[in-house]
Amino acid sequence: MKKTALLFAGQGSQVVGMGRDLYEALPACRQLFDRANEVLGRDLRRICFEGPEDELTKTDNAQPAIFVHSLACLAALESVAGPVRFEATAGLSLGEFTALTAAGAVEFDDGLRMVQARGRFMQEACEATDGAMASVIGLDEPLVAEICREADVDMANLNCPGQIVISGERSRIARAVELARARGAKRVIPLQVAGAYHSRLMIEGQKKVAQELTKLPMRLPRVPVVSNVTARPGSSVEEIKTLLTRQVTASVRWADSMMWLIGQGFTRFIEFGPGGVLAGLMKRINKDVEMLVVSDLKTLEETRGILASG
């Protein structure tokens, strides 16, 4: 039996229309989207299915929308293939909350309220600062760290070998982009984002997230949930909440997280949520592991078939 980890999408993967085909086809998915509207007291389902894009992209909409869609994808798979056997979970940034929910540490309603609050706090931090982000392609971590020190910005995401996202004040990111190009980066891509996520500019949002986490009911997950901050699972509820707080301003060590899981013997990974971004990153982290995706009815059927064959 293959050792399986479930992976959950992060912000930036959202797309207008996500979840509509699952909602229309499967009662288990309808139940989650309808419940989300009840819990939040607003029509998140409409934003997912109809947009417009600029509304869906807002942090306080995108985070709960991806949370619900990702768990609907998991519910869809279990509704057609039976209970999914897995031994660990992980999620990119916001996806870590989805991973904790899938692992039984947090109830759906509580997790949804938490990610909506987190999204609102981060949106407020974006609006109060002038932040930017850029993706640096083709430089290793020590060199990017040196560039960040010189430009006084932060490393936000260590996604896969040769791809690191930097984050900070807009003028300082512009300086870091110049330095990266001068140091031989293959490409440096400014990102179209609302602000400087996973940087010191999120500190006010982090304080509010910390307060909100004190109210979040949580128990130990049934399986290890890998932290973005340490690339290791937390060992207690207190530690998990501390890491979730730190995550708001800390680097997301996604490549290290995947390498840790692979080092623990995991050979099958299933990504849930829109975009297939994590599957793309895995191709650059380790091409030899099996990577499946559930994001819509088409990928659901493909993954169901593969699981049925063993």
Q: Does the annotation mark 93 as catalytic?
A: yes
Coil, strand or helix at 247: helix
Distance CA 220, CA 6 (A): 17
CA angle, 295 then 301 then 306, to 5° = 105
Cβ partners under 8 Å of residue 185, min gap 6: 136, 137, 138, 139
Distance CA 151, CA 171 (A): 9
What's the Cα-to-Cα distance from 116 to each of 3, 62, 138, 209, 246, rounded to whole Å?
Answer: 32, 9, 35, 11, 18
Q: Of 70, 93, 135, 257, which one is the catalytic site residue? A: 93
CA angle, 164 then 165 then 168, to 5° = 140
Q: Of 69, 167, 198, 199, which one is the catalytic site residue? A: 198
First to last CA, the chain: 8
What's the Cα-to-Cα distance from 234 to each of 43, 133, 139, 153, 228, rounded to whole Å?
Answer: 34, 28, 30, 27, 10
Distance CA 269, CA 266 (A): 8
Residues tagged active-site? 93, 198
